[in-house]
Structure 1
Amino acid sequence: MSQLLCPSMMCADLQNLKHEVHQLDQAGVDIFHCDIMDGSFVPNFALGLSDVQAIRKSTDALVDVHLMIEDPADKIDWFLDAGADLIYIHPESERYVVKTLAHIKDRGKMAGIAINPDTSIETIKEMLYLCDYVLVMTVNPGFAGQKFQEFTIHKINKLVEMKKEFGFKIVVDGACSPEVIMHLLKIGVDGFILGTSALFGKPGTYQQIVASLRQTMQVLPNEK
């Protein structure tokens, strides 16, 4: 299976959201990534429920929701009802993480954990049995345009070793430039959140940029 390319929709032109989704669909992206921020768990605001609903209506591709909010269990059903296929929660923001992950799966959707740069794998290991995806934050959550934190590669390596036991996929979020993507692909990462480092605001159309990334990625797995 080819690696997943997931545009971060907080970086898109939200005034022309339907057009943006159509163009990204034409480019062949895999998952539309929706960051939800409440200004409390992270010091910023991003997309909202209406944005997720609009994206869902505009594409047949997978839509994920990354809940950077306090007490996500209270809002999970809002986003599931809006059509999210995958929901990530942060263990620091939720008192009953396992219960919330199980609820997402009971609704027939995919569940994921988002791991901040300062979140230890040891603290979330037991939760991984319920995770379809693990979202590794390689920047501090809440803002676009940050520098990639090199020390997070050690954590990614550990998670790659654990994938077979637990059965999850690893997606990296934060400063995923083409160079970072190529390096992490060799390690064994399954997908990448594409923001301003690789997709939005770059020269060329979305179709050209995504095609270029895929062409380069296709030759790398053989180097392992």
Structure 2
Amino acid sequence: MMNILAPSILSADFTILGEQIKETEAAGAQYLHFDVMDGLFVPSISFGLPVLKSIRKASNQVYDVHLMIEEPIRYIEQFAEAGADIITFHVEAASDPREVIDKIHSLGKKAGLAIKPKTPVEAVKSYIEHIDMLLVMTVEPGFGGQKYIDECTDKIREARDLIKEKGLSVDVEIDGGVTMNNINVPLKAGANVIVAGSAVFNGDIQENVRSLMAEFEIV
């Protein structure tokens, strides 16, 4: 499967957000990762629909929206209308994950399902054939700048093995703690969509994107 970099705007400078998004696109980043936090499912509050709608015109990237909110079914339609291409929600946050998946697909969007570091891959096994992407969190969701949790590498491998076993073409995305020094770890374990925040937006954005994506060819 194609390896994809998804810069997370959670680490961007919001005074020049549009410019920085364009820099990630110019350097070749295919996706843009958009973290939505509600202060309930996770302790933090981030940004939501108005921001997504306003930045949708900033680039032609795939807008990868990660909902860290309770009962995401309530907002699927609004995020689809605001410009999301992929909508990912947490299995731990939905009363009926299959209902949410079906809702996302009914709106013509790709559906992703996410698991926190302590949630086993088994929790999404019954949904794996119905989703387009599985997001394995490699930090506790809710805050940027955390260190990659090494124990999550086995979960990435387990997720990829499950997908292969079933003969599916589901992407495995990872989010949290990625740096130039460890990006090869999740890639080798089977992840093919890599979210990176600080590693992209701290310093020279275009150079950071190119350097991170260069690792795709090495692994």
Query: Is the TM-score greater than 0.5?
Result: yes
Alignment partner of 1:191 out of 185, 190, 193: 193
Question: Cα distance, 1:187 vs. partner?
Answer: 2.2
Kindly provide the CA deviation profile for residues 1-25 of structure 1, in whole angstroms up to 9, marking residues without a partner as x.
5411001111111121211111111
Q: Determine what percentage of the aligned residue pairs are the same residue.
A: 36
1:6-21 pair list within 5 angstroms: 6-21=6-21
1:178 corresponds to: 180
Kindly provide the CA deviation profile for residues 150-182 of structure 1, in whole angstroms up to 9, marking residues without a partner as x.
111111110111223232100110001122211
Q: Helix, strand or coil for the counterpart of 1:209? A: helix
Structure 2 gap ranges (5+): none
Q: Counterpart amino acid of 2:125?
A: K
2:27 corresponds to: 27
2:215 corresponds to: 216
Aligned 8 A contact 1:18 1:54 in 2: no
Q: Counterpart amino acid of 1:210?
A: V
- The reply on whether 1:116 has 2:116 as its aligned counterpart is yes
Q: Moved runs in structure 1, 4+ residues, more than 3 A? A: none
Kindly provide the CA deviation profile for residues 16-73 of structure 1, in whole angstroms up to 9, marking residues without a partner as x.
1211111111111111100000111100011211111122111111001111011110
Structure with higher RCO (Cα < 8 A, 6+ apart): 2
After TM superposition, the score normalised by the length of structure 1 is 0.92
After TM superposition, the score normalised by the length of structure 2 is 0.95
Paired residue total = 217
2:159 corresponds to: 159
Structure 1 gap ranges (5+): none
1:127 corresponds to: 127
2:145 corresponds to: 145
Question: Cα distance, 1:111 vs. partner?
Answer: 0.1
2:64 corresponds to: 64
Aligned 8 A contact 1:72 1:94 in 2: yes
